[in-house]
Amino acid sequence: MEGTKDENTKLSTEYDTPLGLAHTTMAALKDRIKQHYDLASDYYLNLWGEHIHHGYYPTEESKATDTKEKAQIALIKLLLEISKLPTTPSQQQLRVLDVGCGIGGTSRYLASELGAQVTGITISSKQVEIARRLTKTAAGKQNPAESVTTSTPKDVDMDDFVQLGAGQVKFIELDAEKMGDFFASEESKFDVVWISEALSHFPNKKLFFQNAQKVLKEGGKLVLADWFKSEDVKEGDADIKAIEDGMLLPPLCAQPDYVKMATDAGLSVFAEPKDISADVSKTWDITWSLIQNPSLWAFAFSQGRDGIAFLQSFRAMRRGYANGTFRYAVMSFQK
C-alpha cells in the first residue's frame, strides 16, 4: 500500500479532459445528472458525509480547527440566520421543501433541530434510497425501544413522514421542474423552500423560481446557497468551463442573475446575496486530499470521460476560488 497516495496524485494530474464538452440537449444533460447521482451517491456519502455541500469557515480559528462536518452545519445555520428563521422548534411547525435534497442531511437536520416537517425531493432514485436508509437509522437511534433499524424495513412506512426529534421528514423522487404542479394545492404549500447547491444543475432556472413562488405560502421564504461565476469573468474561462463540464452544469450564472429571476417570478429580496467564497473555499482543499482514495479514481475511470472530468473539476474549483472567477453566495427571498 505504500506509495498509493502518490500514485493516485499522479493520476489526478495526468488525466486532463476536454473542457466545455457541449450537452446535446438540456434533457440529455438532465439524464446525465440523474445517472451521475444514481451511480455516485454512495461515494459522495463516503467522501463528504451526509451533508453534500460546502462547509462554512467564517473565522481564522474555524479554518484551523473546525471539522468539515461542523463547518457544513455552520453553513445551514448561516442560511437560517440570513433568512430570520428559527433555529429551535417553534410553536408553529414550519413546512419545508428541501429541493435537490441529496441524501437528506439538511432535511434531517431541519426536522430534528427545528422541529420542522420536511419534504426532501431529488431526481435520483438512489439518493432517495440512501436518504431513507439514513433516516431510519437516525430514527432508530432516537427511539431504540421501537427497534427502527435498517435491518427491519417494515418498522417504518417510508412513504410517510418519519419522526425525528420534534419534526418529521420524508423523501420523494421528483424532478424539481414538476414541483409546482406536484404541490399545487393550498394544503400542500410550504413556509420554506430550501435549495443548497442544486439550482446550478437546473437547465431551466427561471422555471424553478416560478415554481418556488407557486408552492410557497404568503410570506414564505426561499432560502438559497449556490455556486456562481464572477460578474467580470472572461468568456471561455478555462476553470469555469472545467467546472461546468465536470459537474454537469449548464452555463453558470452570476449572483445578480438569480436576483433578477427571483424578482421576475414575483418574489422580493429578503437577504441580498452574501458572498462567502473566502469562507467556504477550504472545502476544496479538504476534498482534494480526500479524493486521492484509489477506489474513487477506479470509479471515475469506470465512468469514462465524465468520471474523470468530475474529479478534474475539483482542481478547477480550487483555482477558481483562488483567482476569484468562481464564487459562492447565500441569499433569501420572500413571497
Region 258-282: what's the mean pLDDT?
97
CATH classification code of 4-334: 3.40.50.150
Average pLDDT, the chain: 84
DSSP state string for 3-68: THHHHHHHHHHH----SSPPPS-HHHHHHHHHHHHHHHHHHHHHHH-S--S-----SHHHHHH--H
* Model confidence at 280: pLDDT above 90: yes
Select the more confidently predicted residue: 140 or 82. Answer: 82
Region 238-249: what's the mean pLDDT?
89
Q: Give the Cα separation of 132 and 298 in Å (integer).
A: 27
Select the more confidently predicted residue: 305 or 2. Answer: 305
Provide the phi-psi class of 216: left if phi over 0, else alpha when psi is between -120 and 50, else beta.
beta
* Model confidence at 22: pLDDT above 50: no
Q: How confident is the model at residue 168 (pLDDT cuts 50, 70, 90)?
A: very high
* H/E element, 122: strand 117-122
Nearest Cα neighbor of 20 from 265, 270, 243 is 243
Nearest Cα neighbor of 193 from 256, 273, 101 is 101
- Residue spans of the domains in the chain: they are 4-334
DSSP 328: E
Region 256-271: what's the mean pLDDT?
98
Region 13-34: what's the mean pLDDT?
51
Region 127-155: what's the mean pLDDT?
69
CA quadruple 228, 234, 238, 239: dihedral sign:
negative
* Model confidence at 232: pLDDT above 60: yes
The position carrying cell 439538511 is 106
Report yes or no on whether pTM surpasses 0.75.
yes
- pLDDT at residue 296, as a whole number: 67
